[in-house]
Amino acid sequence: MGKNFREYPELVGMDTTYCVNKNQMPLVVFRVTDCHGQGKPAGYCFVASKKIDIMRKSVMTFKQANADSIELVQTIVVDKDYNEVTVLKELLPSVHIHLCSVHVLEAFKRNSKDEVNKDKIREVLQNIVYALTHRKYMEYLEELKDEASPTFMEYFNKYWAEYGTAWSCYERLNSLNLGQRTNNSVESHNKNIKSLMSKRSSLVELVKGLLVLQDSSDAVTNYKDFLGIMKMSYRTDTAETLMSKRF
């Protein structure tokens, strides 16, 4: 896992999963993305709870364990979890924090349920999330002001407009993201963990399961590396000699 982080430290996905051991300890998961676009485990942390002081300790432990590469991290993708975002800003102030688009839209849906024009408002909010330029963002924001109630705009301005993290696509263009707008890679990995483990598993069994997943991830990467070295591509739809050669 340390090797994965040293090789691919630029983009990190962070999430917490539950119900994977009988001690009821949440599991904080750190993932990186390799040269094939595949997620790789970079670290795990068992915690007693998600209280902010404990989350601070888990991020600090990850930072100290990877002291030689931690300064190379450019972006961390998280859900909109207040404690996670707070400790990341505190302990890694130079890192860009991106919020998962799926969780952003879910939060907008929850908080717009009492709006008279909720369907229209949700459409505008989705446009804001996926706006590719600041100009389009501002256009959609003006549209939101026309459609939403003062109460919703107060919520939006307080918890989103000045939140200090990137959640609209145009903001993400200012930092490395490898095309990732969500934390799906980490959440998919969490599902794999739960397919092996359950809330009846011991910590020892959970650790063994995590190592099995690590070996499986390495096997997939090794296979893709092998294909990259051995596989040859040809053009069969052209008579041009140069074009039909390997490319």
Tokens encoding 115: 């709006």
- 226 contacts: CB under 8 Å, gap ≥ 6: none
Amino acid 241: pLDDT: 62
Instruction: Between 233 and 165, name the one with better pLDDT.
Output: 165
Per domain, the residue ranges of the chain are: 1-100+182-203, 104-167
* Residue % of the chain over a pLDDT of 90: 73
Amino acid 51: pLDDT: 94
Amino acid 240: pLDDT: 67
Amino acid 247: pLDDT: 47
* Residue % of the chain over a pLDDT of 70: 94
Q: How far apart are CA 43 and CA 33, in angstroms?
A: 13
The model's pTM is: 0.86
Quickly list H helices, 96-174. 101-111, 118-129, 134-147, 150-156, 169-172
Q: How far apart are CA 10 and CA 5, in angstroms?
A: 9
At 140, is the secondary structure helix, strand, or coil? helix
In this predicted model, what pLDDT tens digit does every residue of 73-122 receive, in sequence order?
999 999 988 899 999 999 999 999 999 999 999 999 999 999 999 999 99
CATH architecture of 1-100+182-203: 2-Layer Sandwich (3.30)
